[in-house]
Amino acid sequence: MPGRSPKDLVDSLRAAIRHHEEQYYIHNAPEISDEEFDRLLHELERLEHEHPDLVTRDSPTQRVAGRPIEGFDTVGHLVPMLSLDNAYNDGELKAFDERVRKGAGLGDAPVAYVAEMKIDGLSIALTYDHGSLTRGATRGDGARGEDVTANVRTIRAIPLALQKGPVGIIEVRGEVYLSRASFDRMNHERQEAGESLFMNGGSA
């Protein structure tokens, strides 16, 4: 691409790679082949090697280079990660609805709810500073959790940088889990390698 600066090329490649990661891992709608994706990644790696001053922590190349770690430091949450109560009957659901309307000052106004299947994974808090992922922490006791930043940076479904990153610090909370298909594939690979199998499956 003649006439374009190394920084422009790097920015363009990063944007393309992030787009295709999202299409593949989030939307399950890949637009290019694995070979084409690898070509983009290798080109970015080459440019960053030639221009190390352009390497940033949120570059897709830094995710690939990451290694999950096993020993974790303890960190405090910006806001406590509270647990949710269960509701087992209509009375408990109605009581929950009343608390929501009272807490929001809605009076008798109806509230729209969204219900979905529960994913029983590991609660995680992702901290982004000016759009860049700076920390991943488990729920722990709600006030303090384990710093698993190096581990979450290897998960392709978690963006290292937010598009049109907001100014300041925001925290995104969710659930990390292993799909049944991924679990079965991992156990198949372990079996082929003569290794012991994992016993607990992921969510379907």
d(CA 3, CA 43): 17
Closest alpha carbon to 156 in 12, 4, 6, 28: 28
Could you tell me if 136 and 149 are in contact, meaning their C-beta atoms sit under 8 angstroms apart?
yes
**Run of H or E residues at 75:** strand 74-76
d(CA 94, CA 133): 39
d(CA 94, CA 78): 31
Does residue 164 have an active-site annotation? Answer: no
C-alpha separations of 75 from 79, 137, 174, 199 in Å:
12, 7, 17, 30
Contacts of 76 (CB under 8 A, 6+ apart): 143, 144
Q: Which of 7, 94, 102, 118 is catalytic?
A: 118
Active-site residue numbers?
A: 118
